[in-house]
Structure 1
Amino acid sequence: MQQTPLLSVDNLVVTPRNDPSLRLVNDVSFQIRPGERVALVGESGSGKSLTCFSVMGLLDPALEVTGGDIVWQGRSTVGMTPAEHRRLLRTELSMVYQEPLTALNPLMNLGRQIREGVPGVRDEDVLRILSEVGMRDPQRVAKAMPHELSGGMRQRAMIAMAMIKQPRLLIADEPTTALDVTIEYQVLKLMYELTHRMNTALLFVTHDLGVVARLADRVLVMYLGEVVEEGETADVLSAPVHPYTKRLLAASSLATARTLVLEEED
């Protein structure tokens, strides 16, 4: 029997408040089931991040959802009050942002930031999650300010903040953009292992098809605000249908992407 979706995005439309005719996200639909890993792929400006911020209820005030619906476990989130949405974010949904230095509070140590907004978190819980994300000295890191950590450590701290509440869905908006290749691999491996162990679904935003091949069960391809192709990762990467998906693959290392798919199947 097929699992009931955790998240259903149905014909989502996002527009500027001062120009409702400009559809930045246009009629986007997809579902994510418990424990599933879905990649959202496309070039800059294709609507990937706006789709994620819509799901999180964190759209810029200049933008609004003007069509469609976002349904979390059978309940629409579009009409939720701010208090209801905050409760959902505290317990069910988490997000890892593209640049942790701008997402973290520069005036608050990491331990306090991890505890903030999550009921019942103790100091030992903070040290445990910091250890689980690979921090060698959790006590020192918990007392550190964001500027005292490297880029890779800051991103691990963001993952710790997102995963300490064991969310049902983690959204990762290009979280390895500013990292070198070695650290990128470590962070991706960490996210894969944590979400797998906690049975957390993952919506991963990226433009790197090699990452998609290694990480995702399914892939959604966005272009000009629309989902133009969707399917099992191996199928989309090996036999793309839409011309834009074909161009994306042509611009990437197609051989590498196929090799990574085969490695995951072994």
Structure 2
Amino acid sequence: MTTDSTSPLLVVDDLCVSTVDAPDTPIVRNVSFSMDAGDRVAIVGESGSGKSLTCFSILGLLDPGLRVSGGDIRWDGVSMVRMSAQKRRRVLRTDLSIVYQEPLTALNPLMPISRQIREGGTSVSQRDVLDILHEVGIRDPERVARAIPHELSGGMRQRAMIAMAMVKSPRLLIADEPTTALDVTIEYQVLRMMFDLTHRRGTALLFVTHDLGVVARLAQRVIVMYRGQVVEEGSTATVLRAPQHEYTRRLLAASSLATARTLVLEDEEGR
């Protein structure tokens, strides 16, 4: 595949997603943004705003009743919308990974964790499995590698899913509200680990969430979606401190605004 080395890693250009039965009435409309290698971008908005549909469109994982009805998605300058199924599978196999909301439903309930991680990449050895489990903060990787999902806690399952996504060192990791099912203490530990791991490996991170505190901790840029459209985009500090759109202001008013702003300040001081 020929790529353009000067182009962004990912470009979502005027993306529209519609149902098959109503192609002229998109439920995601004219979404545009780009990402470079190592970027950390968060998509925020209420349920039904189009966050997950946008991400699943990038991965080609839309439900059969949905389709990309307009715009384009380019990976390394090459259209994924017009890409052959074989080439798309190759990109997904090597360059893109996703971490889902609920690992208990996303993981195979009958398969040991080690086998699921080995299937996450090509030529993954058992040593690779143990190394990545250790890297995601699992203290007893041998035991966890042998376990099946229901034998692990929610936090351990989510770490195992991140290990499965990262074992191939993807260039882009998409995380679709990956800590929804976790309590607050475990949530922060998992998010911190995921941030550190992607940062060390130079992996771009596209993070879907409704938690602006999480955005303040993890994202360089934030995209705000409302009713299937992008209503605001900018640096995290700018959007959280001086939101321009009324919907963004309402999101901030409904969240822990003081905490979000404090986290931005702490992150800037940490840099």
Q: Could you say whether these structures have the same fold, taking a TM-score greater than 0.5 normalized by the shorter chain as the test?
A: yes
Q: 1:57 aligns with which of 49, 60, 64?
A: 60
Conserved? CA contact 2:173–2:204, under 8 Å:
yes
- Structure 2 Cα separation of the partners of residues 117 and 211 of structure 1: 27
Q: Runs of 5+ in structure 1 lacking a partner?
A: none
Q: Deviations over 1:75-100 (max 9, x none)?
A: 00012222222111111000000111
After TM superposition, the structure 1 stretch with the greater mean CA deviation from structure 2, 69-78 or 108-117, is 108-117
Q: 2:160 aligns with which of 157, 160, 169?
A: 157
Aligned to 2:254: 251
Aligned to 1:214: 217
- Structure 1 Cα separation of the partners of residues 244 and 72 of structure 2: 27
- Structure 1 Cα separation of the partners of residues 36 and 216 of structure 2: 19
Conserved? CA contact 2:195–2:218, under 8 Å:
yes
- Structure 2 Cα separation of the partners of residues 146 and 87 of structure 1: 27
Q: 1:109 aligns with which of 109, 112, 115?
A: 112
SS in 1 for 2:138: coil
SS in 2 for 1:245: helix
SS in 2 for 1:22: coil
Q: Deviations over 1:36-80 (max 9, x none)?
A: 100000000000000000001111111000100000001000122
Count of paired positions? 265
1:67 matched to 2:48? The reply is no
Aligned to 1:167: 170
1:47 matched to 2:44? The reply is no
Q: Deviations over 1:196-241 (max 9, x none)?
A: 0000000000000011011000000000000000000000000000
Conserved? CA contact 2:11–2:75, under 8 Å:
yes
1:190 matched to 2:193? The reply is yes
Aligned to 2:8: 5
- Structure 2 Cα separation of the partners of residues 259 and 5 of structure 1: 31
After TM superposition, the structure 1 stretch with the greater mean CA deviation from structure 2, 17-26 or 224-233, is 17-26
SS in 1 for 2:164: helix
Q: 2:132 aligns with which of 129, 153, 160?
A: 129
TM-superposed CA distance for 1:117, in Å, is 4.7
- Structure 2 Cα separation of the partners of residues 43 and 28 of structure 1: 16
State the superposition RMSD in angstroms.
1.1
- Structure 2 Cα separation of the partners of residues 82 and 183 of structure 1: 38
- Structure 2 Cα separation of the partners of residues 149 and 5 of structure 1: 39
Aligned to 1:85: 88
Taking structure 1 as the reference length, the TM-score comes to 0.98
Q: 1:119 aligns with which of 95, 118, 122?
A: 122
Conserved? CA contact 2:172–2:203, under 8 Å:
yes
Conserved? CA contact 2:26–2:69, under 8 Å:
no
Q: Which amino acid aligns with 1:151?
A: G
Q: Which amino acid aligns with 2:84?
A: T
Aligned to 2:141: 138
Q: Which amino acid aligns with 2:36?
A: R
- Structure 2 Cα separation of the partners of residues 106 and 84 of structure 1: 29
1:234 matched to 2:234? The reply is no
Q: Which amino acid aligns with 2:155?
A: G
Percent identity at matched positions? Answer: 72
SS in 1 for 2:150: helix
- Structure 1 Cα separation of the partners of residues 131 and 87 of structure 2: 29
Aligned to 1:180: 183
SS in 2 for 1:175: coil
Q: Runs of 5+ in structure 2 lacking a partner?
A: 1-5
